[in-house]
Structure 1
């Protein structure tokens, strides 16, 4: 491992923590990260680092090493959530009402910014190019796609990202080959019948009955149409219908999400859901509009990249910091970067019950053990150097 990188991050740990607290105090929602973008750009101006402002928000920076070589992309997301923070005991609690960094993106951004500074301090040792993307709008699964459309992957050979993780104890790094985060899709189903008086059901086609039939039976797709060795989750989270207690509803609206780890399963579920909706509507003499929206891609860690993360972790922190975690049906739009380019996505634990950093992601009491920040910052930087120095993939 590069000891200069480690020493730089340890010497600047207080700055790293203060930067994270600044971002935490000033959260901005997806595609509204204007002040965050400006803050990062101002920092890069002071460092005299080349960068490009993305549209509508986001920053792409680059450090070109003294020696020619490959290009590795490091990514941090920077948007917050529409949650009212309940950590009133913190002196860096959000000052933006109804907005909160409840998923750790403030940590990601500060860790990557510190990693950039550390890599800049050893620029003459870098073989190749390190590219950095401070990405907007991960929380609405749109930011990565938007950045790719603006060309950030041109010339990139490998991608690496980190998510801070309250599930695991502080400092534990999980990055195994294969799927780690699921794809996440949204579906919308609109059943249309014929409304009427509750006392005359024979003159109507009840949209509530159609939707209820669908809700009760659509789960059989997972149990009977999908390979049991290929996990899938189908969740209906919204059911809206009716106007009054004694009126049979003409319309019923359902919305939900599907999570899978591969696109073959994804396609089967979509096809079967549409078929179910059409058959139910026909059975009750109604019609249906079915919409299925592909959102994030599954995060599927490239074998060589994931093993490199583990090697870097062992050398930088010790073998005891390597953690083997099960895949999650949670989603991350980082998978969009990995559709054609190999890479890896790691989690860095920040759970500490004494410091009350054990609340789940997206909780109003979410917080991170700031002891984890130095691990994340160093992992970013050491991974970039290690990837550029190896020639196996």
Structure 2
């Protein structure tokens, strides 16, 4: 297959994935579609009985270099209708990873070693990487590479960064568990809305080291129904926590917990918390980052190498390095005129950057394998 034919196939794959999004843990058709491509290219393929996701592997022996892409789309309202939507660019990430496979298998020979392609489910839930870790898919991996398209606010179109230094994130859900009371008899119960307002004030008064970027805020609060003469005793809420370091996110979570305990005791009403998901902050390896920098320069020109991106966003890719301390990894930050922003229902980006993105990762994988020779 010629280079032009490979590039055309990559873009056709992207169009298919873009038109057929699936939400976290339900990426069954996406898994089957990629599995077929992997098999067609002669990969050793692994799937799982209890979850979505698929692993493809070429080559053998050491070293083991992995390329990881995320499968899932978001569930959000688009033009007045709720649907699965690839507004985070995972369709392009999968296409680039498959592009790396197509380019590598189109070569006459490859350096010694194993190249593993990890198509991971449920990144948006922050739980997919943990499941893949549980499956042991990186137990023997030496180096690992990922990619994420970047908004125009971070990386300009036609440029790329050799690392994305995501912060840590945590999503907490909570319930205020009281009983409804009559609007004429407020003394017989506790108003969950007032409890929520108090809790909001407590959360807003949490103070941390200002030298470490962080934030904590309510993202949902639901209480009451259609009857305006009923004082709601029950409410459900969500809190989003962000911090640039793993230590900071742990301290922030503990302060949230203490704030909730204080309000619960003050109103004498149970408030239950549950951590729905959590992601670790980035640990980018310097050598992996250097190899990625070289590759960006060769593909896009040295003038288009952007500095590592420091962002308050989070990515469960970083669980791999958090849990496997000897894993060397980095994530390509691809500038592609992404507007108006990630997770916007009408997000758009320059699709022409998918091919250079695949080329950068391909070169980085080859450089990594050769560095062991």
TM-score by length of 2: 0.89
Query: Does structure 1 residue 387 correspond to structure 2 residue 356?
Result: no
Alignment of 1:149-298 (within 5 A): 149-167=134-152, 168-176=155-163, 180-193=165-178, 195-221=180-206, 224=207, 226-243=208-225, 244-298=227-281
Q: Aligned match of 1:25 in 19, 27, 43?
A: 19
Larger mean CA deviation between 136-145 and 342-351 belongs to: 136-145
CA distance in 2, matches of 1:207, 1:265: 30
Q: Deviation of residue 173 (structure 1)?
A: 0.9
Shift in alpha-carbon separation, 1:58–1:194, aligned structure 2, 3 A: closer
1:15-72 per-residue CA deviation (whole Å, 9 max, x = no partner) reads 221111111122222222222222222222222221112342221111116xx54111
Alignment of 1:343-382 (within 5 A): 343-351=329-337, 358-382=339-363
1:128-164 per-residue CA deviation (whole Å, 9 max, x = no partner) reads 1111111222122222111121111121011110012
SS in 1 for 2:172: strand
Shift in alpha-carbon separation, 1:375–1:54, aligned structure 2, 3 A: farther
Q: Deviation of residue 76 (structure 1)?
A: 1.0
SS in 2 for 1:331: coil
SS in 2 for 1:125: coil
1:274-324 per-residue CA deviation (whole Å, 9 max, x = no partner) reads 111111222223232233344222222122222221122113321122112
Which position in structure 2 is the counterpart of 1:78? 71
Q: Aligned match of 1:114 in 99, 107, 132?
A: 99
Shift in alpha-carbon separation, 1:193–1:82, aligned structure 2, 3 A: closer
SS in 1 for 2:105: helix
Q: Is the 8 A contact 1:189 1:288 kept in 2?
A: yes
Q: Deviation of residue 391 (structure 1)?
A: 4.7
> What RMSD over aligned residues (CA atoms) do the two structures have, in Å?
2.4
Alignment of 1:66-105 (within 5 A): 69-83=62-76, 98-105=83-90
Q: Is the 8 A contact 1:64 1:129 kept in 2?
A: yes
Q: Deviation of residue 335 (structure 1)?
A: 1.0
CA distance in 1, matches of 2:73, 2:174: 29
Q: Is the 8 A contact 1:172 1:321 kept in 2?
A: yes
CA distance in 1, matches of 2:25, 2:235: 32
SS in 1 for 2:73: coil
Which position in structure 2 is the counterpart of 1:58? 53
CA distance in 2, matches of 1:142, 1:241: 28
Q: Deviation of residue 236 (structure 1)?
A: 0.4
SS in 2 for 1:163: strand
Larger mean CA deviation between 377-386 and 124-133 belongs to: 124-133
CA distance in 1, matches of 2:275, 2:95: 36
SS in 1 for 2:18: helix
Q: Deviation of residue 348 (structure 1)?
A: 0.6
Shift in alpha-carbon separation, 1:163–1:220, aligned structure 2, 3 A: same
Q: Aligned match of 1:42 in 12, 15, 36?
A: 36
SS in 2 for 1:301: coil
Structure 2 gaps, min length 5: none
Shift in alpha-carbon separation, 1:204–1:158, aligned structure 2, 3 A: same
CA distance in 1, matches of 2:82, 2:212: 42
Q: Is the 8 A contact 1:260 1:329 kept in 2?
A: yes
CA distance in 2, matches of 1:158, 1:135: 17
Q: Deviation of residue 258 (structure 1)?
A: 0.7
SS in 1 for 2:75: coil
Shift in alpha-carbon separation, 1:291–1:41, aligned structure 2, 3 A: closer
CA distance in 2, matches of 1:303, 1:184: 23
